[in-house]
Structure 1
Amino acid sequence: MKRAKIIRMAGLFLMAGMISCESMVDNLNTDLNNPTDASATLLLTGAQLGNVSVQEGHLARVASMWSGYFTGTDRQYKDIYSYNVTGASFNDVWQFVYQGVVGQMKLVIDKSAATNNRLVQGIAKITEANALGTAVACWGDIPLKEAADITKFPNPAFEPQIQVYGELQALLDEAIADLESGIGTSPGVADIHFAGDASKWKEAAYTLKARYYMETKEYALAATAAEKGITTAARSWMMVHGTTLNVNENLMYAFIARNRVGDINSSLALAPKFLNPASATYKGNAKTDETARYNHHFITLSTTGVVIPVSPNTNSTTTSRGLFGQSAPYPMVTYSENLLTAAESQARTTGFAAGLAKLNIYRAYLNAGGDLDATYKTGTYKYKYEAYATEDFASGGMLNKDGITADQALLREILLERYVTFNGQIIGFNDLRRTRTESVGVKLTPSAGSVLPERMIYSEAEVNSNTSAPNPVPGVFVKTAVNAK
């Protein structure tokens, strides 16, 4: 019976995340057999799925359009692509963060504390930190300490962005201590990501810590955290998907290929130009063949007789499953991210040799197939990622034709690799804003006007109902504090 309730709740949450305007599931904290209460494990499942909708749903689509991964071509996505967006567009996402994740995880933590189940508390804290970390990166100042307690705090205060990042680091430290305690009963399948595996959650927590240190430009701390982060691809935090219609599909697939066909493609995007061997800006070279990754990420699409030059790959057959295929897993916090964070942070702090060594570890992973779906490792499409040598980055070398310093050439290559790796993820948008004023890195051309977006717009519902909300509300082109420094 308990398993059936979990499955049903999971289906409801994923269906909510797949519709064009995601909306919250009513009475999330209601046990289907007991309308007055719910167990900590059932709440955990629902809140984890709420976090999936934060990471993989509307927010990720907007971030991808504003990062050169996707092109908005119809209805409201055409306007959003051109930066014409209002707070109403983010009402559902804001609700997912605060009602769907933060509010529910507070209940999970309280219920688990009552039984001294520190394992479940640790899992809940990491999931909450993931949702709030995405929110603080995208919006800047957000509610934290006073959030999700409307009785005590009907108008929760917005805390400064940099302060929130520090509090999330502390929350993750608490979670790691909980996991290291060895105290608590596993939630089993109620934990939809790692089935209660404390060692995997601990590694994910350290990679999240490294992510947030990168976003605050504390690169030495990021390097230290990454050394304790995710150690293999099999230990990555992924959202596993299936092929049941409106229940467990990849949310990108459901939107792009089924629910809102024609709203999004990649016809004007930058990312496919870096991966396409036929492109003038192809990032491949004598040691790098991106053919397989290009075909895994992007396809030529034909709808109603019109050929679209390139679109996110939503192929879902047994011989071709694209990055956004129906059952393709979606990356939450991964081994690839951890390796690339180690490479960039060490290149910036320890030096060239350390950064190159980490980059070559990642290239060895790619050369063994990396994050490619198994259907792109069959030999039909080529891929090659040989180790780079110091001379490749020297002035006039293969990766330094424009004569910049070797350090800058290495950083440029790492940032470019992060960019194409994070296709379809919010962290790609975070990277672009973090490095926008630096001399090297990925330089995006605005899709409208002459200025690039710097943040999401605060939820209209929150602004209208919370007297503590920022006034005036910062516009999409106003930098957040971490990117203004």
Structure 2
Amino acid sequence: MRRNHLSNKLILLMLLGLFSCESLVDNMNTDLNNPTDASATLLLTAAELGNVSVQEGHLARVASMWSGYFTGSDRQYKDIYNYNVTGASFNDVWQFVYQSVVEQTQLIIEKSEASNNRLMQGIAKVITANALGTATACWGDIPFSEAADIEKFPNPAFESQTVVYGKLQALLDEAIADLESGAGTSPGVADIHFGGDSDKWKMAAYSLKARFFMETKEYALAAAAAEKGINAPGASWVMYHGNTLNVNENLMYAYIARNRVGDVDASLALVPNLLNPGSATYKGNAKTDETARYKYQYMTVNASGSAIPVTPNTSSTTTARGLFGQTTSYPMVSYSETLLTAAEAAARTKGFDEGLAKLNLYRAYLNGGGDLDATYKSAYTFKYEPYVEADFEPGGMLNPDNMSAQSALLKEILMERYVSFNGQIIGFNDLRRTRNEAEGVQLQPATGSSLPERMIYSEAEINSNTSAPNPVPGLFVPTAVNL
């Protein structure tokens, strides 16, 4: 976090090159080595791109390896997969959180307050909440109130995870009020997610609130927030990608299929076996055909048709665009997540009937193709018929272990969340939240007898901030909300 504002702007202006758009930089200084200021609109684009790097980059790959989605097969990622990881591995993502997102959104808010542009303030607050919510979920205690003000707080205090979650909820409430105010000018195309649409940002804020309430196990509050969250696939908060090399392509694709080929596959992952109809641990049943979803999420042959270890699907052809294809959009906060949050929260707080009804809403979405790319909807079979109560009764189709019907329903919902969040950090958060419950997904460690409970703090932050935790908690120490 210890950088001056000018160097941060340089970093962020360079970051724009990852997803270039000439119209966004028409008003930049002609001398790029000596920028004196940047508009709130330009800063917004940079902050959004910084947040994409937090959500879709290294942190998501690590979370996916530790969640049974990916396998680290070579070089650095083989070590990380086997839990041999140091704080240096997280220096860049920590910098993205605080320098590329939080510092920039604070500047956006300050500039927007001067013109009473509450729309811009609201958007900036939602982005801040997304980045810091991911940070506290992954690391636990983090800087919050004293973050991104190096002159006033050269050693920003780390606040407890439970306090941070409360402050995130308050921040999102502020954002919602700003977005509902009707005050302010839209950033237009500079907002690369929603084009300044306040209604979509408000729904995203409620879905984020629901996510955070799930992570703190406040399930009744999560259910209420989800009802106001993202209400259609087209309202999902995603990062759109293109096919320009090193500019706007899917970050998972860029790493797995091009930059570090062979470092990551899914040969030892759990999810491919759950989705593969030919597997002994296939999760399908008489009402569920997972063929298309399996093919969409994973591939076993390369572009030339040669057999390869099962691998996250980076296929990017016109006839097959996989979950991690070059131009495939990446979910930040999605309609699917919101539906599944509503289902789990309802099952936990409103009873079996409400939970089943919500789960069947999601299954109806899947039965229409769900999040599958169009190339997989037509090429492979899929089926998600509605479940009925008898399916969950002891000895029923979804309850071979003779649990209570309520527990069998919760187990099915948690399994559905698990396979639906492939490649996302929230899958890692879910596993830690529920692994001690009988209904939770049971994942075997890649090595040893313990599963990771957190990311390791940035080495650069530990070395430079005298307020950093001492001793530094290890990889297998649960964060406060998961004790």
The normalised TM-score by structure 2 is 0.94
* Aligned counterpart, 1:106: 106
Offset at residue 306 of structure 1 (A):
8.4
State the one-letter code of the partner of 1:45. Answer: T
Alignment partner, residue 427 of structure 2? 428
Partners of 2:394 and 2:182 in 1: CA distance? 52
Query: 1:373: which partner in 2?
Result: 373
Partner Cα distance (1:10, 1:74) in 2: 28
> Do structure 1's residue 202 and structure 2's residue 202 form an aligned pair?
yes
Q: CA deviation at 1:14?
A: 5.0
Q: What is the aligned residue count?
A: 465
Native 8 Å contact 1:13 1:46 kept in 2: no
1:175 paired residue number: 175
Q: Which runs of 5+ in 1 are unaligned?
A: 16-27
Kept in 2, the 8 Å contact 1:11–1:246? The answer is: no
Within 2, Cα distance between the matches of 1:32 and 1:433? 47
Offset of residue 402 of structure 1: 1.0
* C-alpha distance 158-282 of structure 1, shift in aligned 2 (>3 A): same
Mark the CA change 1:62 to 1:373 in structure 2 (over 3 Å): closer, same or farther. same
Preserved CA contact (<8 Å) 1:142 1:161: yes
SS in 2 for 1:121: helix
Aligned residue number for residue 384 of structure 2:
385
Alpha-carbon deviation of 1:104? 0.3
Cα distance in 2 for partners of 1:386, 1:82 equals 39
2:124 paired residue number: 124
1:309 CA drift (Å) = 2.9
Alignment partner of 1:311: what SS? strand
Partners of 2:15 and 2:50 within 8 A in 1: no
Contact 1:31 1:39 in 2 (8 A): no
Match of 2:61 in 1: 61
TM-superposed deviation, 1:304: 11
Kept in 2, the 8 Å contact 1:10–1:247? The answer is no
Matched letter for residue 463 of structure 1: I
Give a deviation string over 1:13-32, Cα, whole Å, max 9, x none.
Answer: 459xxxxxxxxxxxx9x944
**Do residues 281 (structure 1) and 281 (structure 2) align?**
yes
- Structure 1 Cα separation of the partners of residues 332 and 301 of structure 2: 27
SS of the counterpart of 1:317? coil
Note if contact 1:267-1:310 (Cα within 8 Å) is conserved in structure 2: yes
Query: What is the deviation of 1:477?
Result: 0.3
3-state SS of the aligned residue for 2:279?
coil
The residue number in structure 2 matching 1:18 is none
Please list the CA deviations of residues 324-378 of structure 1 after superposition, one character each: whole Å capped at 9, or x if unmatched. Answer: 0000000000000000000000100000000000000000000000000011111
Who is 1:72 aligned against?
72
| 1:284 counterpart SS class | coil
Q: Could you state the TM-score of these two structures normalised by the residue count of structure 1?
A: 0.94
The CA distance in 2 between the partners of 1:115 and 1:270, in whole Å, is: 52
User: Are the aligned partners of 1:267 and 1:308 in contact in 2 as well (CA < 8 Å)?
Assistant: no
Alignment of 1:432-443 (within 5 A): 432-443=431-442
Cα shift readout 1:419-469 (whole Å, capped 9, x = no counterpart): 000000000000000001101121000001000000000000000000000
CA contact 2:45–2:190 (8 Å) conserved in 1: yes
Alpha-carbon contact 2:18-2:246 (below 8 Å) kept:
no
Partner of 1:343: 343
Distance 2:93 2:13 in 1: 22
1:42-94 deviation digits (Å, cap 9, x = unpaired):
00000000000000000000000000000001111000000000000000000
Deviation of 1:308 after TM superposition, in Å, equals 3.1
Task: Say what the alpha-carbon RMSD is for the aligned residues.
Answer: 1.8
Gaps of 5+ in 2: 1-9
Match among 4, 9, 17 for residue 12 of structure 1: 17
Contact 1:11 1:248 in 2 (8 A): no
8 Å contact 1:344–1:411 — kept in the other structure? yes
